[in-house]
Amino acid sequence: MNKMPDILWLAEIKKEDIPSVGGKGASLGEMTAVGLPVPPAFVVTAQAFRRYLVGAGVEEKLYSRLEGLDVDDAELLEKTANDVMNIIMETEMPEALGREIIAAYKKMGNNEIVAVRSSATAEDLPDASFAGQQETYLNIKGDNDLLESIHKCWASLFGARAIYYRAKQGFDDRSVDIAVVVQILVFSEKAGVMFSSHPVTGETTTIIEGSWGLGEAVVSGTVSPDNYVFDQSTGRVVDRYIANKIVEILPDGEKGTKEVEVDKERQDIPVLNDNEIKKLAKFAKIAEEHYENPQDIEWGIVGEEIYILQSRPITTIKKGSDKEEAKMENEGKILLEGQGASPGIATGKVVIVSSIKDLGKVNEGDIMVAKMTNPDMVPAMRRASAIITDEGGMTCHAAIVSRELGTPATVGTKKATKVLAAGQTVTVDGEKGIVYEGAVAKASDAGQPAIQAAFAAAPIITATSIKVNVSLPEAAKRASATGADGVGLLRIEHLILGLGKTPNWFIRNDKEDEFVDELYTGIKTVMDEFNGKPVWVRTLDAPTDEFRNMKGGEDEPEEHNPMLGWRGIRRDLQSFDQFRLQVEAFKRLWDEGYDNLGIMFPLVGHPDEFLQAKDMMYDLGVDVDNKTLGIMVEIPSSAILIDDFIDAGIDFASFGTNDLIQYTLAIDRNNQNVADMYMPKHPAVLKIIKYAIDRCRRGGVECSICGQAGSDPDMVKWLVETGITSVSANIDAVQKIRETAARTEAKIILDASRK
């Protein structure tokens, strides 16, 4: 058998070479072979390392130190690791190997600046990610520094972290080798990571995170990066969050890197344009198709050149037929109880998010723990395998977004941020609202059962139309896969809040077009998924406190009780420009033939408000009499005056029970201290709803529900019996709500025929 060379160039490497070049090296070789733009590199093979150990006669000396080591004894672990690393550092590299490495280095160019990366040979395998356990040295130049960095990479195979990780993952130290990749360093002007498919649900949306400077800033979580969501099936950017990027990592003169402040003008502007996003997403697709597995990819851009720096499998996604729900193996110790806000079970490491600065610490598969979530946290929520909050109820921001992302969530635990420790492993049951100590679920599954499959197996026709709620355009595909009869509520705040700026900021900074474009594109993404079925878009409704962290948030008024304050139609009627820009986006869609677009006004309390909004639309050139315009019934006054609204010409009314309950019962929907008094089936609430349904039926006006109560089968049974004409539920609830409606309708018919 031929002896494996000491050095292999990327073009010579195939995926079978993992034992020689490690997961990272093999992956770079393969990526080069499929035509991805990988910077030139060679690999010092694992065999070269092994021959060095054996040749120097230190192999036994070294491994015997590790045998039987109690890795939970931190002090002992640290000491042993240092001893073993010293053995390596004191054992010189064979001269011949040194010469070979230098010759390869010279072939790359004249004293090129390189990155020297460890590539452990069990690293990055599909079932275990060793990423980050061994060292990487950037900005290395010259023969001596190169040889020293390679030597240090070898030693890092025996760093405390690496030994600990191997022990816990059940890898024998003797079975793991190390190769070292020497690669031309790309001085990225901007860089980041991307997930070829959604890191938790596995959907075909590519998520790209990027920031200024070298990619280390994003990988290490030093900076909160921009976040772009690209839908591979439609070829469109469906969501973007432009972060405030305060620092960047740059090469530091001759050696190493440094962290510097990003100049003010670049902090808030998008790192990527649509063209770059598309190109990156194309590369992500090539990599995923080639590996037949979703990939976590590092990229960098210099001028017009895009480079793919690394690709490895995403370890958190459960694929295809495995995607059944995780089962609790044993009950385990309960650490916390709250409300089950988004079903599913997930296990992972706790990351506590106290401020926006912590968002970068949330890696894919982590359990994100926060007092409460905000719209600016959505990018991190996408990476989390579960979400836990101190505050909030079933209708809080964390609950709504988690359900759309298909991520299990337990909210309103009161003390998660105090009781849980960073790094601790927990299991979240988002159905029951329980957090267990350790990993107590049978599979490390995250997310919800395959909704589409359930629908395909049992299409049920109901007289009550069953619609779906959408807030994030990226959820549109999953929403339509439920087979819903349309969208009963599209919350557009999320389209704008994701940009990190208040609507007023866009107006004040002459960025009106950007605002309109974003609304138009987001709504269109959803409408395109629903192909002519009705889509009711709600005009902006975010309480002032949700705008506080955004750019422009400093101009928002301080309100004692934002829930009762300047939000919904009240604000739009007083903020002509904000309303006008929304209408411009709607008009574009109507002009393009999207006749199925209906507009719904939130927090309307008096028919005059509806009439005023309609007049404003008319003045802005909308043919209001031929458009579908309706209201949300969220304030008791609008239910009590429903006849007057019908006379004013509403086409539909939809119960926003999240607010209707809080305003009827004087119970703050986000306050966990009164959560047990927040009663959707309180007789007063039911009486108000029944009254409005009766009046709508009599007036021939469609009457619907889009609050969380519409996702509760018991409530829906009652609503159908009471005569509601449509129900809009969360994505995860559509199927069971359709079944409930069908059963209730059948019973009504049966009972009538027996009378």
Q: Which is nearer to ligand PEP, 232 or 637 (CB)?
A: 637
Q: In angstroms, rounded to a whole number, what is the distance separating the alpha carbons of residues 493 and 215?
A: 31
Site for ligand PEP, residues 523 to 582, rule: CB under 6 A? 541
**Rounded-to-integer distance, Cα 131 and Cα 118, Å:** 9
Query: Which one of ligand PEP, Mg ion, none interacts with residue 542, CB within 5 to 8 A by kind?
Result: none
Check if 397 is active-site.
yes
656 counts as binding Mg ion under rule CB under 5 A = yes
Q: Which x/- pattern, by CB under 6 A, does the window 444-483 give for ligand PEP?
A: ----------------------------------------
Candidates 634, 702, 712, 732: give the one binding ligand PEP (CB under 6 A).
634
Q: Which of 153, 396, 703, 706 is catalytic?
A: 706
Is 546 a binding residue for Mg ion by CB under 5 A? The answer is: no
Q: How many Å apart are CA 489 and CA 484, to the nearest integer?
A: 12
Neighbours of 77 (CB within 10 A): 18
Considering the complex, state which of residue 8 and residue 689 has its C-beta at the smaller distance from ligand PEP.
689
Q: Which residue type sits at 576?
A: F
Q: Among 93, 86, 5, which Cα is nearest to 44's?
A: 5
Residue 203: HSE in the Cβ half-sphere, 13 Å Cα cutoff: 27
Asked if 706 is an active-site residue, the reply is: yes
CB of 685 to ligand PEP, least distance (A): 12
Binding partner of 670, given ligand PEP, Mg ion, none, CB within 5-8 angstroms per partner class? none
Quick one: 49 or 610, whose CB is closer to Mg ion? Answer: 610
Cα 711 to Cα 658: distance, rounded to the nearest angstrom: 12
The dihedral of CA 258, 262, 267, 269: what is its sign? negative
Rounded to whole angstroms, what are the CA distances from 673 to 559, 560, 703, 721? 21, 18, 32, 33
- In whole angstroms, give the CA distance from residue 242 to residue 228: 8
The region of 192-200, 229-237, 404-412, 634-642 touching Mg ion under the rule CB under 5 A is 634-642
Report the residue number, 563 or 620, with the smaller CB distance to Mg ion: 563
For ligand PEP, the closer of residues 453 and 573 by Cβ is 573
Place of tokens 């629908």: 455
Q: Using CB under 6 A, which of 17, 474, 659, 702 touches ligand PEP?
A: 659
Q: Of 32 and 708, which has the nearer Cβ to ligand PEP?
A: 708
Interface segment toward ligand PEP; rule CB under 6 A; list 219-227, 506-514, 639-647, 655-663: 655-663
At 253, list the tokens. 């003169």
Q: Give the residue among 470, 467, 397, 389 at the shortest CA–CA distance from 430.
A: 389
Between 389 and 658, name the residue whose CB sits nearer to ligand PEP.
658
245 binds, among ligand PEP, Mg ion, none (CB under 5 to 8 A by kind): none
E strand spans, 464-527: 465-470, 487-491
Q: How far is the CB of 198 from Mg ion (least distance, A)?
A: 27
Tokens 């609830």 correspond to what residue?
A: 733
- DSSP conformation letters of 727-738: EEE-GGGHHHHH
CB under 6 A: which stretch of 176-184, 475-483, 617-625, 653-661 binds ligand PEP?
653-661
Which range, of 452-460, 469-477, 583-591, 659-667, touches Mg ion by CB under 5 A?
659-667
Name the binder of 543 from Mg ion, ligand PEP, none, CB < 5-8 A by kind. Answer: none
Pick left, alpha or beta for residue 68 (phi over 0 → left; psi -120 to 50 → alpha; otherwise beta): left
Q: Nearest approach, Cβ of 208 to ligand PEP (angstroms)?
A: 28
| List 8, 656, 731, 744, residue binding ligand PEP (CB under 6 A) | 656
Per partner kind, with CB cut-offs from 5 to 8 A, the member of ligand PEP, Mg ion, none near residue 657 is ligand PEP
Question: Which of residues 66 and 470 has its CB atom nearest to ligand PEP in the complex?
Answer: 470
Q: How far apart are CA 373 and CA 387, in angstroms?
A: 9
β-strand 345-353 against 295-302: which pairing, if any?
unpaired
DSSP string computed for 616-673: HHHHTT--GGGSEEEEEE-SHHHHHTHHHHHHHT-SEEEE-HHHHHHHHHT--TT-GG
CB of 708 or CB of 725, closer to Mg ion = 708
Considering the complex, state which of residue 54 and residue 684 has its C-beta at the smaller distance from Mg ion. Answer: 684
Pairing relationship of beta strands 205-212 and 226-231 according to DSSP bridges: antiparallel
Contact partners, residue 200, CB within 8 Å, separation at least 6: 316, 317, 364, 365, 382, 383, 384, 385, 405, 406, 407, 446, 447
> Given candidates 188, 373, 525, 658, which one binds ligand PEP under the rule CB under 6 A?
658
Q: H or E segment at 714?
A: helix 713-722
Among 27, 133, 395, 740, binds ligand PEP (CB under 6 A): 395
Q: Which is nearer to Mg ion, 176 or 724 (CB)?
A: 724
Taking residue 574's Cβ as centre, other Cβ atoms within 10 Å add up to 10
The secondary structure of residue 416, as a DSSP letter, is H
Residue among 491, 501, 614, 738 that touches ligand PEP (CB under 6 A) = 491
Q: Report the C-alpha gap between 609 and 680 in whole angstroms.
A: 26
Q: Choosing among ligand PEP, Mg ion, none, which partner's interface includes residue 707 (Cβ < 5 to 8 Å by kind)?
A: ligand PEP
Of ligand PEP, Mg ion, none, which one does residue 370 interact with (CB within 5 to 8 Å by kind)?
none
Indicate which single residue of 239, 659, 712, 732 sits in contact with Mg ion (rule: CB under 5 A): 659
Q: Where are the alpha helices (DSSP H) in 292-396?
A: 378-383
Which listed option, ligand PEP, Mg ion, none, makes contact with residue 313 (CB within 5 to 8 Å by class)? none
Least gap, CB of 76 to ligand PEP (angstroms): 54
From residue 684 to residue 723, the character string flagging contacts with ligand PEP as x (rule: CB under 6 A) and all else as - is: ----------------------xx----------------
Q: Which of 153, 397, 494, 703 is catalytic?
A: 397
395 is in the binding site of which of ligand PEP, Mg ion, none (Cβ under 5 to 8 A by kind)?
ligand PEP
Is 113 a binding residue for ligand PEP by CB under 6 A? The answer is no
Among 489, 526, 639, 742, binds ligand PEP (CB under 6 A): 489
Q: Which residue has the tokens 């130290």?
A: 173
Mapped onto helix, strand or coil, the DSSP state of residue 446 is: coil
What is the total count of residues that contact ligand PEP (CB under 6 A)? 11
Q: Residue 488 touches which of ligand PEP, Mg ion, none (CB < 5 to 8 A by kind)?
A: none
| Inter-residue contact 604 to 635 (CB < 8 Å) | yes
Of 657, 670, 711, 730, the one binding ligand PEP by CB under 6 A: 657
Is there a contact between 387 and 368 (Cβ–Cβ < 8 Å)?
A: yes
* Radius of gyration from C-alpha coordinates of the chain: 29
Residues that bind Mg ion (CB under 5 A): 634, 656, 659
Residues near ligand PEP (CB under 6 A) are: 395, 489, 491, 541, 634, 656-659, 706-707
Catalytic residues: 397, 706
